[in-house]
Structure formats: C-alpha cells, structure tokens
Chain A
Amino acid sequence: MQIQLRKIIPGYIEQEKRSTSQVWEQNISIRKGEHLHIVAPSGSGKTSLMHFIYGLRKDYSGSIFYDDMDIKKLSTESFSAFRQNKISIIFQDLRLFENQTVKENIEIKRILDPYHQSQKIDEMAKRLGIENKLNQSVKTCSYGEQQRIAIIRALMQPFDFLLLDEPYSHLDEVNREKAMDLIYEECAKRNAAMVFADLKPLDFFKDEKIIYL
C-alpha cells in the first residue's frame, strides 16, 4: 500500500505558511517501510495533517490517496477496514476509554484484528514500565502512562502505516527511547511505514526523511 498526498492544503492556513511548507500544496508519497519525520511548531497543523491522512477530517483541498482510492470518497465502512489492518495511529490526545482498565483499552483494539497474542500486551507493558498498571482504570494513570498505553494499543494490529502524533510529549528521555525502540521493532516486523510528527527533530531518530510543515 502507498499513501499519496496531492497538493493538500487545509482551508485555514495563511498564505505565507503555505509557501514555506514542504507538505502543504506539495505532492508527497509514502511507501511501505519508509520513515517520514514531520517537524513543525505547535499550531502549524500537524494534528490536522494526521487526521486528514487517517480520514477523520475532510476540510482540506487537494486529495489524499490510499493506493488509487481518493479517501474523500471512502465510506466509513471502508475506512473501518483500513483502520483494522492497514493503518494505525497514536493520537496526540490519546483517545482512550477512561473508565476501562489499561488492559481492556488495549484488548479492544487487539481483538479487532489480532496481530499479537494477548500475552504480548503484558510483555510490551513490562518493556514500557506500566506492567503493574494493566488492571487499573485508565483515568488513574498519569498522562505519561496513558501515552504508553496508546502506543501499545496502536501496535496490536497489523498495519502498513503507523501515524504518530507527538507520541512522546510526556515521556522522559529513558522512556522515550524504550518506546521508540518498541515502535521501530514493530514497524520493522511489518515492514511498515512510519509517519512521525513532532515539534523538533529528535536526536535518536535514525535515517529518516525529515520534512518541515
């Protein structure tokens, strides 16, 4: 699978930002196995871009293609099929079920199209240091812990593309690296593409194509 951005531009972006952007009004294609790092200060449209690609918002001009399908024309039903096993996301605002336990939050994604066995949840939780939080309600977890829950949840399914929207904002350096390693590992297993949006280039980010929004 391949994702193509064809001259997309959100309605609200000012003219001067458009001209300097390496994304807006450009043609970009992302292929399996590629790592793309999108760097931009806050408020410049990173989250919008992620939502455009994931199909949550359609308030842009230009088009986004999954292979040869214009996603503006996709039904919610077809989107659900893509979201089950082609494209996964870690939202900036995490989007967890607050009243469910950590394990339930991850499990509800896993059972949809299981890439991993259930035991893998414990394993990953251990790696990211939240293994004793698994049976706690999400709302009792800190934001940093919740970020790690969202990361594990996104890695439970098969995917060709992983979208990450500032996934480490509340993680310390050590945990950031642990999480990054895990994500790299999981993407490598699937030969998946990674689209990573953050405020500044991360020093441990390896051989990525960096583009500025």
Chain B
Amino acid sequence: MSLSYKNIEPLIISGKNIFSKWLGYFGLGIGVLLLLVSMQMFVNIQQLLKENNPRKSGGYDFISISKTITNDNMGKDNSFTNADLAKLREQPTIAGVAPLISNKFRVRATAGDIIPFSTDLFLESINNNYIDTVPPSFTWQPGQITVPIIFSSDFLEMYNVFAPAQGLPQLSAKTISSINIILECSGPYGSQNFKGSIVALSDRINSLLVPQSFMNWSNMYFMRDTAVHASRVYIKTKDANDPKLISYLDQQGYHLNKDKVKFSRIKSILQNIVSALGVFGILVIVLALMLFSFYLQLMIAKSKDNLRLLLTLGYSPKWLASSVAKTWLPVYLSIIVVALVLTQILHLLFMQLSFVKVENLSYFLNWRVWLTAIFLFALTIFINLRLVKKELGNIL
C-alpha cells in the first residue's frame, strides 16, 4: 500500500458544516460562469458591431457638426467662421478639423439624354484626408472639362427609392459611374459647362464632393469670392462618444449628427454592461475563495491535533500540504469544466438569436475565454495550496 491521501483522510475532520463548503462551490461556479460568459459576450459584441464603420479609420472617428438652427438664428449666417474653426482645433479631444466648403455660384445638373433629369445642385469640397474613398482620379486642374465627383452612397440609396415613382431608372453603384452629368455653372462673372463624372461613393460624407482645387477656382471665377463659408465641419477625434467632446459641442450650440454615433454608443453601453457583469463575476469568485479559505481554516483547526501527531510521526509537512490541497483539485476542475460547457451552450444559444450574423462569429469559445479558464484553475489551485501551507505552518 503506497502512501496516499486516503490513509490520512479519516484524520482530517471536515466538520459537520458542509453547507458552507457547497455554498463555496456554488459561488465559485457562478462567479467563474459569469466571468467566462461576460468575456465571450464582450468578444461577440466586438465582432458583431465591428461594423465596416466608414466614420472610423486609423483609430479616428470622423463626425460632422453644424450649428444648431433655432428660431433665433434662423435666417442669419450660420456658417463657421475662421475663429470658430480655430477654437475647435484647440480642443484636446479634437485631432483635426476640416470645413466643408460649398459652392456660391449656381450649379444645374442634367443627366443628358439617357435619364431625363435636371436639377439645381450643390457641390462641396473638403480636405481629401477626411474622405473615406479617394480614387487617384479625384483631381482637377484649371482648364480640365471633366470634374470628378464623390457621391454619397446615402444619396444614391435615396434616389433609388424615389426613382421608380418618378419614372426614372434605378442605378447600381457601378452604373452610376458611367453616367455623364452635365454641370452648368454660372455666376455674375461668367458661366461654363463641365462634365461631371462620379468616381467614387462615400459612406462617410453625405454630399457631392468635388476636388478642393475646383471649388476654389470656381468660387473665385464665377463669384470672385474667396471667403470660407462652411455650414458643416468635419472633426476628427479619437472617440466620438467622449463625454467631454459632446458636452463641449453642446455648449457651443453645435449639432452633432447623432445617428452616426448611435451605433458605437450602443456598443459601448453593451460592453459596459457586460464588463460590469464580468467584474461582478470576479467579485463573486473572490467571495467564494474567501468562503473556501474560512472553511479550510476551520477544517485544519479542527484537525489540528491529528495533523500535529502526523507530523510528529514523521509525515512530511510538504506532503501533507499538497495532499490536503490536492483533494480539491477534482472539484475545482469540474467547476471550471462545467462553467466552460455552460458558457459554450450560452454562446451557441446567443448565435441562434435573430439579429446575430452567424458568419461573423465562431461557434467555439474565444481563446481568451479558454485562457481565462485555465488561469482561474491555476489561480484557485495556487491559492488553495498557499492557504493549506500557511494554515499547516500555523499549527506546527
């Protein structure tokens, strides 16, 4: 018969109060489950709401602001002055500012013979760095007849909604680039026709964008006007949901296009909830481990005389500590395994939800969840062993 915990088991008095032991197991299980599930859900939300977010690139959010139109300022000039722009640039939460410059002259667009369509139009220009899709052809030089245009994909969508009712053909993103638009530009100082060609669609900026060089030239040529009149300004910021930024913009009476940041707000709220759940899980784990440690202290205190006698007889303190600690190993392992299985089941149930795009998610738990489970297992074993050693040391 070789030496094992079984030989000394009858000498370790576990006490009648097994309620606290089971409460500890239960608490630990709940805590581990909460932590693992919240981690997996955090990752799921991250994956699902990763969004091909056009506002975001290189870690920056691009959002448009305009001055809020109220009954008081209605009819006045509500464009941004250079001073306004300079003030915006000073804000630490704002990494960059670019005004959208609009045309002062009149622009009329006709789509030629293919689509019997003609309308007054507005054009805008902005620093190329603020546009999400800039093809190499998006340049213009004086004398050039063709003007490249970046068209808002929202506008295209809108057009396709009302086009059938108006007897106009619906257009795909591809065909729109093949349409030749005649731009009839006119002002007090002259008029000229240009050929407009849509070179790209922008998800970020709701406008008809032309190169800055064309806008500068034409405002000067048709209107002799070089002043900046920007009714909209794009700002580049690390976090569009930064409360400091939002309160500053509110203070200034600037209107933020909330629709664009709603998505990331939902995401951050969801992630905050899930994180709070995770923190709660950690708290429960800590409490459960504390309960265990009380249970362990009680157990060792009750078995004090027997343990002392075992040591007197020649049992090694190290062996005693590790064999007493080892008895919890299967319990801890089962708790972690059960929590992992439940997390996996919950994850699969989550994937059944109607709004979840299954192709964005893996059926298996994220590696971070596995790693956390392994870490928790190691941690509980480590804490347990240390506690047993400490308690044994105390009775020697």
Contact = CB atoms under 8 A, between A and B. Distances in A.
Contacts of B310: 108
B315 interface: yes
A95 interface: yes
Contact of A80 (B1, B8, B11, B315): B315
A177 interface: no
Given A82-B314, A112-B313, A112-B314, 6 more contacts: A76-B317, A81-B314, A83-B314, A97-B309, A109-B313, A111-B3
Interface in B223-280: none
A104 interface: yes
Contacts of B10: 99-100, 104
B16 interface: no
Contacts of A147: none
Interface residues of B, number: 19
Interface in B191-237: none
Given A97-B309, A111-B7, A81 B1 contact: no
A108 B316 contact: no
A84 interface: yes
A113 B311 CA distance: 14
Nearest to B316: A80
Given A95-B309, A111-B1, A111-B2, A157 B314 contact: yes
A42 B190 CA distance: 130
Chain A: number of interface residues, binned into ranges: 20 to 34
A108 B3 CA distance: 9
A107 B4 CA distance: 13
B313 A83 contact: yes
Contacts of B309: 95, 97
Interface string A82-110: 11100000000001010110001001110
B314 A84 contact: yes
B317 A80 contact: yes
Contacts of B313: 83, 108-109, 112
A14 B280 CA distance: 64
A172 B10 CA distance: 33
A111 B5 CA distance: 12
A211 interface: no
Nearest to B306: A97
Contacts of A99: 10
Contacts of B2: 111
Contact of B11 (A100, A112, A113, A157): A100
